[in-house]
Structure 1
Amino acid sequence: MKGFRFGSTQGAFYILPGHGGWEATYGNETLGEFSSPQQAADEVARGLTCPHLSEVDTSTLEIPEKLSDWEIVHV
């Protein structure tokens, strides 16, 4: 299986296959569950609050919406 990784200035974000869909994660925290990896990339890029980032909004981290700009990882 493949997943996706984006390394930001605050650490790596992942979009990985989950239970019946895709999960966006940061560290050991799940940021949300999505129907597709593109939907996950869109939501993370537009802004999610990460508890590990002391309430920093992900939209301030220049995370790309285009999934093709994320690195492919094999899981």
Structure 2
Amino acid sequence: MKGFRFGSTQGAFYILPGQDGWEATYGNETLGEFNSPQQAADDLARGVTCPHLSEGDDTSMLEIPEKLADWEIVHV
């Protein structure tokens, strides 16, 4: 099974298979569940609240790519 990883200046974000679809995570925090990995990447790029970021709490400030092709593939 594969997932996706993006290493930002604040740390790694993951989009991984979840219980009923896909989960976006940062550290040990789940940022949401999504129907597809593309939907997760879109939402992270546009801005998801993440209180554990050291600068602000919005992922849109981290230049997270919307295209999954720009994410690293990880095997889980």
Matches within 5 A, 1:30-69: 30-53=30-53, 55-69=56-70
- Using the size of structure 2 for normalisation, the TM-score is 0.95
5+ residue gaps, structure 1, are: none
**Higher normalized strand content (fraction of residues):** 1
Q: Deviation string for 1:7-45 (max 9, x for gaps)?
A: 000000000000010000000000000000000000000
Q: Secondary structure at the match of 1:23?
A: strand
Matched length: 75
The normalised TM-score by structure 1 is 0.96
Q: Percent identity?
A: 87
How far is 1:56 from its partner?
A: 1.8
Aligned CA-pair RMSD: 0.9
Q: Secondary structure at the match of 2:33?
A: strand
User: More helix per residue: 1 or 2?
Assistant: 1
List 4+ stretches of structure 1 deviating above 2 A: none
